[in-house]
Structure 1
């Protein structure tokens, strides 16, 4: 409880660098008892650096309760341009049910976010049904028509492999 109060105080005082030291230690220790505190701050902070460190700590803890809050923050317009780390944080978690949302970031935002979205898709692609692959393709194809992008092309190619539907 002491660490929680200290973290809350540091964030309230905008002592971000000191708060990050504590957050990193929570992640390193995989301190799941502070999961709710980290999620609360993930959802409330406007500071990209703090948000990214919290997402990484949640990923290190590895508790799937973090998936929904990370996705919620990821889709906020305010995170545009800083989604790469949030997407990376999902890698250690069970994000499968959100693959269509994640696929929506392929070819968008930053190169880092686009590439990380593709990597997340590739991690689960063999577990997708043909219908799920088709839905992901339907997200990507209109983007490719608007702008030629190698990452979008790679995503479509991967989706077509092993699928009954060929593009």
Structure 2
């Protein structure tokens, strides 16, 4: 219902604003303002979008909760769509979404209404985030253990033959990491 109301109300608001501004300043200045806001908005969306991508990457590298940087990036994308849509009302909303304080207010408003229980990053058990925990991800009790497989080779064993082919023994001395 709200979406239908928005699809009806926004064009009506835009038409009313076009008529008002066009009557006050004329047709060509009105069209020039619409074109100018689209170009300026595109430039601002590009620069802020690159910064938002950097913030998302930084949150992944530092294993921080990426929710807020992702939400800011999504709002910058929505701002770009609004700024490219011709109209004064959509331009005002788009420019508002380009200001970090307004984006933060929208994020905190939405965060109160959305509940995330948990999500996991990486392989199973490597890093887990739980709702309402600003600290770093929790790791398993044995986070310093590396899982792997090995097989030990007896250095005094005879070379293995396989259908008249001889498998050579290693010619180098064993190291601390590998024992041949």
Normalising by structure 1, what TM-score? 0.22
Which structure's residues are more often strand, by fraction? 2
Which structure's residues are more often helix, by fraction? 1
